Chain A
Amino acid sequence: SFTGESGETKSTKVKKHKRRKSKKESKTRTVHANILYDHTKGGDNPNRHYANNKIKTTKYTLLSFLPKNLFEQFHRFANVYFVFIALLNFVPVVNAFQPELALAPVVFILSVTAIKDLWEDYRRHRSDKEINHMDCLVYSRNEKQYVEKYWKELRVGDFIRLRCNEILPADVLLLSSSDPDRLCHIETATLDGETNLKQRQVVRSFIDLDCEFDPFKYNSVIECEKPNNDLNRFRGYIIHRSGRRDGLYKDNLLLRGCTIRNTEEAVGIVIYAGHETKAMLNNNGPRYKRSKLERQMNVDVFWCVVILLVMCLFSAIGHGLWMFQYGDKRPVFDVLSPEGTDLSPVVSAIYLFLTMIIVFQVLIPISLFVSIEIVRICQVYFIHQDMELYDEETDSHLQCRALNITEDLGQMQYIFSDKTGTLTENKMVFRRCTVAGVEYSHDANARRLAMYQEMDSEEEDCTSHGGTLPRRDSVTSHQSGKVVLRSQSTKSHRRTGSRAEAKRASILSKHTAFSSPMEKDITPDPQLMDKVNECSSQMEFMRFHSQPLNQIPPDLCDIFDFFIALTICNTVVVSSPNQPRQKSTLTKLNEEKRPEHDLQHAFSPTPPNFEKTKALAQDECELRYEAESPDEAALVYAARAYKCALVGRLPDQVTVELPHLGKLSFELLHTLGFDSTRKRMSVVVKHPLTEQITVYSKGADSVIMDLIRPATGMSTLMRKRQRKILYKTQNYLNLYAADGLRTLCIAKKVLSKEEYASWLQHHLEAETAIQRREELLFESALRLETNLQLLGATGIEDRLQDGVPETIASLRKAGLQIWVLTGDKQETAINIAYACKLLDPEEEIITLNADSQEACAVLLENSLHYIQAKFLCNPRPDPQAARDYAGLVIDGRTLAYALDKSLEDKFLAVARSCRSVLCCRSTPLQKSMVVKLVRNKLKVMTLAIGDGANDVSMIQVADVGVGISGQEGMQAVMASDFALPRFRYLQKLLLVHGHWCYSRLANMILYFFYKNAMFVALIFWYQFYCGFSGSAMVDQWYLIFFNLMFSAFPQLITGTLDKDMSAETLQELPQLYMNGQNSEEYKPYMFWMNMIDAFYQSLICFFIPYFAYVDSDVDLFTWGTPITTLALFTILLHLGIETKTWVSLYNIIALFFTVALCYNASCPTCFSPSNTYWIMQKLLGDPIFYLLCVVTPIAALLPRYFYRACQGTLFPNPVHMGRQLDKLPVDMRRIFLSQSQMKLGSLGSLFAPRAPFFPLCGPFQKDYRPRVKQTHMSGTKQKEKAIANPIPSKSMEMRDPPLSSKNSDNHITLNFRMQEEVQSCRQGSDSPLSENLHCVKEPSSPISGTLPYTKDTPGSRTILDSTGLEAPLSPTDLCQVELLTSTPLLPQTESMQLMSPPRSCFLGQKLDDEDHSNQKSLLKQAGDVDHTHSTSCLQEHSLKTTFL
């Protein structure tokens, strides 16, 4: 599609256009109709300055290609450098080679890049051409009808006619539609990836137009904004001849690239064309990032330059001295300058310096940059091709959008993940609801959902058994936990193909988002169903008898309103799947009989049926709900399950079909859309039964609960009922949240005529405003959404994606820190975190909720002390203890404080010592701030993964951004570097491909440095024997093409294909990933080691032939060619040692000899100054040559080989162990891997998990963290180090035994000693302070003062009170804050306190107290939430730490 075709140039182009126009135009664009002006002489056409619809995303034209491309290439410093060197060769006094020859590599590199660019540009050109030549119908002034024209001929101001399923050629203002409601549906999938249909409306002034739109009658002028890239904004107005002005909104604009659906015909006027369309402006080409490895490499390139200069300088000085020693006695072999004058030593030294730069140029690897790019492209290709990263369901595979950071995937340290849609499927499934304070548990529904899970696991069983039918018995035996849930129906599923069938169904309905059977077929709760039936029958009765509806009991009334709200308080569009044109008839009020069968199906409480035929039949006549968000869809489907079905939606009317009552039409007065600030949406309707103006609101419980106020004219009884409902509902909300459900509150409000009128007046003003319109609408919405009456709440399940817990577990084993940043509420987030194993029931959770900056500071301080004390007092070198440390939960508000400059360091110190961090209720901005903070302060590699628009900023900030191409549109994908279909693919992407890419590239780069240094050093040594004259014994051709040909090819092959370990091993042993995290393949010292090795090897390769030939009649190149050959052998053998898989790379030796022989035989007189005619041929007949070829490489590689061999056999690192594991037969390997503790030599200790404070070892050095060093090493070393390492806490160790014995028991409550009044504030911790262990005696110790530890009896909870020793705070302050360390699901006691309300110390506060009863305090009531793991975790709470 053409939105993908982009070019950065285009934006500059637009800028140019803008600049040109800015003289003429102000802030707006004025569009006239073109037909008023003669096309042939466009001079007077006011639209002539606007860009036409021809797009050109190419960078170059035929003429401009060469200069422009060269100009671009010379932006790369390396190219300039090499051109400089090549040009230097043209200067006679300094030249070292044949000047033309010296140009060759640069020209080669430049032309390869140029050809690549040219090819890319040609592809762009082709696709541009294709797009430009698409057809559309444009009104012609001369022919007085619509005629076919190419897209590129379209101009701003043209009228175009659009037909169903046509793609929009430009941004068009909708003027007419064949739809009776003057609507036009568009699909914006190509733009934002959202698959649901969107409605667009004809411009207000043309709505009433009955007859067909006649372009000749159009004589208005459109004033609108200048082109911008905001897809969701369009403002302007249309001025008619009468002088009347009408506002234009984004609802009137059809954007280029969208597809017309469900609308037979539409007419519009082009507003923005070509590059000025929003779609094109949104296209910002590929991203450019520089990987960590590349940054590291650049440092070493710099060092190479330094080495080069040093070598040149050395040679120059040497040459000067050499010249000087002869003085005036001129030896016969000295050559005067061409002019015949004698050169002074100084001058010739200076000349020589330049010559040496040319001779040694190979040291700066010219082909390195090109090679890296080639290797990366191959890597990207392989990642693309990976079958395991392909998602069959959506037919999508991984996309690499950034081509130059593949190796970064192997070096990640922190993962920041979104929750919804990333960890979860974003398939919102209605689970349960509360109406008027009564909970309906929907057990049948829960069972139904469990069934899906069952099916999935069964499916996996099937595949693991190699496609054979699973043996029923064996399945039950190892799935005993689930067998209870299996019912007759699941068996039938399996018979019919279960998941495959379900998959097919979901593919069939793929067209409509959020409509998989799981989401659609909700099993109603029988109790609630009865009530709904009862309610509607009563209503029916009353309507029939024209009795006032308020006779109905309030709870029934609430149920009715609840479902009405679910049905209409949304933006869901109804369509019928296979007959789009029927839409109009369907939505025409009532009269339309829907097939009985369908309704029956919807009401039937039987589990869904996946029988294919039925599914199809059902699909055909079923209404489709096209929702913008999955929550909406879930709620509408839920309501439909209760027979309260949405059957039609028009801009001003919603039709609902109800049992007994039939179809009811609600006049839709206003829709106040959802926004993330308000976190709610509302509709204002006129109730058809009561004729009242009613507001239905739906939103996050945190905001809705605050808006609940009893209406003014209410009886006390009603008030009391309201309060009770509120209380109960809040209870259930907490329960839902604890279950990991997403909660939404439904509320309503009845407006009196007067109230509505006064609100309406303001609202209309806001709507018509052109300036600040959004703000005014926002304020208007705020005014309306007050004093709501609570109807109920819903719990929607956001199901975890497949394999998320496993993925997280293995990523964590790989040493990755995983932070989840979500907009969800704290309880939901915590529970999802438990579900996906992000938090462990056994670990403590530090919750940070603060209301002010100061409170936050205190909290952070305390948690820091707590953590330090905890770890310092338990220095147990047991690797097992590593898993047992804290998780941190912080909410958005506290996060805002914590991210403040003054606190960020502390926040980080706390966060990094926690195993996992969960940020709830965070805004997109906060997400990106967190990522930025971690990235910049900790200097770690960060990966952000998300699926929605709210993750875009985070994705962009992180080192690697990963988008999930899920259901929520394409924004995240567009912003990402890699796009995955599923979260679980992250595991393979990082652990396997990341590892491979990293180790391949790292090895390749190091090798490049090595081989060039080695080669250049050979020539350097020779300078000692040729008077530092810059002559080389290596033929200039070999010298120049060495880098480009002989040594680059094998490296490219290994760089692309080398596998140090198999994918299976890498995935089964995630610990191997740490190799890349710690940059083990490429550390700064390795560069120097390689350099030293290179110099050593070159010494050997130089001096063995030297001594073999010294004082013989050997001539220069007969001596130099063996050296070249030897060096090549050595370099290739070196590669052989370093590479892990030997792909037959020794072809390169054959290549070398072939080339050498051909070259040596080619021309006897050319190639001055080094004529090497027939040398190789002669050498091949010389036994000395062969003898040299055997001994020299071996002597040169002996140390490295010895080192590697020792490393491989005696001190294997994890990578070696992994490789050995790889060599084992498959079944043996499985046995090894299945053992939780691997004992393969020292393998067990090698794979020991990282000690908890590992992240603290970074560059982050602050006083308030313990300085603990941890290194990854083998068992024996580990022990030695543990003793040898002077850990700052050495003194602690001595006190350690008693402490650890006490603390090995569970749950430690840690109280900082505090003032007496604070004690009173603390509640619940009156358990006997059985033993106070003074961990640190000195109050002034860096760990912080006295830390009395209490060993609580199991079952009691722990509170860390919020007092800092250094911060004497008033009790009130202290109570605003607290930090709780405990398992999240707190045991029984009602008094259990998650948070204390602000400004109150009184914890047992009555919840009925209205004004203080915000949802926070209500949360405290979660005491009745029982969780099985809460007890287990309490029992097993030992604090184990290790200091390595």
Chain B
Amino acid sequence: MSQQQKVASPEMQQFILQQQAKAQLQQTVSRLTEECWGKCMGNPGNYMTSKEQACMDNCARRFLESTQFVVKYFQSKANQGGQHSDF
């Protein structure tokens, strides 16, 4: 008895990849907004002050830069001589 294997069509595969990318983006935005809300926002007024706006924008960008920084930092440590890597 032959097992009929169902393989996702190329269209479906692309859809899956798109949805994964979308979900990851939403998760990043969601987490960043939470993080930066705590750092930037005072009591909710009728509008965001320009200071709050700038803070939110800066916070998001610096957070992403920090991610790159951390990765690069450990990579450069690994390249310098792996005998010091503890894990």
Q: Do chains A and B interact in one complex? A: no
Interface residues of B (CB under 8 A from A): none
